[in-house]
Amino acid sequence: MREELQQSIKRLVNFMNFAQSFFRRKNPFKELAVTLISSLKGMLTIRQKQKMIKYRVNYHKYQLHKMESLIAESNEHTFLKGKNLNQLR
């Protein structure tokens, strides 16, 4: 009976050592705090990110429109071009 009690105490102490080393290596409370802070920062800066994304979308639309107008300008089959020669070709 006494040996069984000593054995179970050794197992419990061994488990506590494993748990303590785990908490030293990977601190779940610290990871939780870091995750919470990063999510709060993301929520607070979402308006700024949204403005930046809108700017990028509008800029790419502008670039696409400019490219389409240049392609249409140099196309000989469009009705606006007529019989003018393209100097670049």
* pLDDT for the residue numbered 87: 57
* pLDDT for the residue numbered 70: 81
Return the closest-CA partner of residue 75 out of 62, 64, 86. 86
Please tell me the distance from the alpha carbon of residue 24 to that of residue 57, in angstroms, as a whole number: 46
CB 39 within 8 A of CB 31: no
* pLDDT for the residue numbered 83: 55
Please tell me the distance from the alpha carbon of residue 66 to that of residue 71, in angstroms, as a whole number: 9
Domain coordinates of the chain in residue numbers?
A: 1-44, 45-81
**Residue ranges in the chain modelled with pLDDT below 50:** none
Please tell me the distance from the alpha carbon of residue 64 to that of residue 58, in angstroms, as a whole number: 10
> For residue 28, what are the CA distances in angstroms to 24, 25, 56?
9, 9, 38
Q: pTM, whole model, 2 decimals?
A: 0.47
